Structure 1
Amino acid sequence: MDTSAPVRILTVCTGNICRSPVAERLLQAGLDQAVPGGFHVSSAGTRALVGEPMQPISADIVRTFGGDPEGFAARQLTSRILRGVDLVLTMTSGHRGEVLQLDASLLKRTFTIREFARMLDVLAQRTAAADGGQPAAVAPSPAALPAGSGSDDDTRLAANAALWRALPARAAGVRHLSLPADSADNDIVDPYRRAPEVYREMEDQLAPAIVSILRHARLNAPVPGTVPQSR
């Protein structure tokens, strides 16, 4: 595997025209700022309206938060699309089950986006507590970096990839500390063919999860020219 290859993230919903496209485009926009070239985010649907563009209100939400909804076309989730994905973020627990029916090997790399965000928040709190209350980056061990004297950019991308490919296991390790009071709080509401208010509810549920993921990427972004220290 190319250790400097972008981390591949897949977001999944049902039709792939409302929820997962919003997550895809906003995560990509934010991650591009945190670690340029470090991530490739895509999406698919378990019963996709193949070839359809993003729903207009979803596209407006993407624009509002600085993403680009243009050029989107819905895709059907397949085992081929799942091949080589580093992290799958689904909109509901049901979607997670459908992903695992297609590829059971993704068990430890598939989460609902809201539960994954809560796990990252727990990891951040633990790091802050260990550092006396000050948030700090959690860098991969130097052993995870490629040998040799590659460019700073390659080293930065490799460090980022090592961190994110190890992250699902670390996140799962604090799952018991991030359980919601109601299991429905793991899910993002489906607004398809529903009133604009339901799209706003979707936005209210999805936005905090995206913010937590982007915050983690920003705080843990490898700095060019530095050697990560084991923590």
Structure 2
Amino acid sequence: MTQILTVCTGNICRSPLAELVLAQRLGDLDVGVASAGIRARDDDRMPLEAAELAVAAGVPAEAAARHGARYLTEGMLQGVDLALAMDREHRRAIVQLAPGALRVTFTVREFARLAAATPDDALRAGAVGADAGARLRGALTVLAGQRGLVLPPEDPADDDVVDPYGRSRQTYERSAEQLLPALDAVERVVRLVAG
């Protein structure tokens, strides 16, 4: 089974939205999706705004209601095929916790930017292996190799998803507007190399 982990700060807004949307979209594949937070308090619930955005994105309301925050541990990164951070601080925290995860860790918007600049044929060529997880890791090696070749965004914050916690409904919506298109790219790549 391919394992994807999404990571943010409190694991109540951005990373659970990403987890729930990816799990819903990739439900027909052998893919497990989980989430955690670098400063999460176990079992905290999603704010109403985040849960409503999940439902609007096609997630069943009961799935959003069941989510409980989890604190990120090194053990959670063992066997992860793709780690998606919501911002650069989270990406840095993941790699500090598990340096071996460097090649499979991206901010979600960085992933989308690199995937858009990488031909499907190059991703398929890198996607070698007996199982879907190995093929995804191979494709991620190709994407990670693009980091030095694809120009970074003019504003580094463009690789981040804004944190909406404790802010206006408009900020929650802006956060989702940044996150959901990036998840489209994740879904496309996972399906491309799934087999």
Would you call these one fold, judging by a TM-score over 0.5? Answer: yes
After superposition, give the CA deviation of every residue in 1:61-106 in whole Å (9 maximum; x if it has no partner): 1111112313110000111212221111101101111112211111
Task: Specify the alignment match of 2:50 in structure 1.
Answer: 58
Shift of 1:184: 0.6
Retained in 2: the 8 A contact 1:119–1:178?
Answer: no
Task: Give 1:97-116 correspondences, 5 Å limit.
Answer: 97-116=92-111
Please state which structure has a larger fraction of its residues in helix: 2
Which amino acid is the alignment partner of residue 14 of structure 1? T
After superposition, give the CA deviation of every residue in 1:116-159 in whole Å (9 maximum; x if it has no partner): 11111222xx237x9xxxxxx82644xx33xxxxxxxxxxxx2x
Shift of 1:194: 0.6
Shift of 1:41: 0.7
Task: Specify the alignment match of 1:127 in structure 2.
Answer: 120
**Is the counterpart of residue 138 in structure 1 residue 121 in structure 2?**
no
Task: Give 1:21-170 correspondences, 5 Å limit.
Answer: 21-33=16-28, 36=29, 38-68=30-60, 69-123=64-118, 126-127=119-120, 138=124, 140-141=127-128, 144-145=129-130, 158=131, 160-170=132-142
- Count of residue pairs brought into register by the alignment: 190
Shift of 1:178: 5.1
What 5-or-longer segments of structure 1 have no aligned partner? 1-5, 131-136, 146-157, 223-231
Q: Which has the higher contact order (CA 8 A, sep 6+)?
A: 1
**Paired-residue identity, %:** 40
Shift of 1:217: 2.8
What's the RMSD between the two structures over aligned residues?
Answer: 1.8
What SS class does the counterpart of residue 50 from structure 1 fall into?
A: coil
TM-score (norm 1): 0.76
Retained in 1: the 8 A contact 2:111–2:185?
Answer: no
What SS class does the counterpart of residue 197 from structure 1 fall into?
A: helix
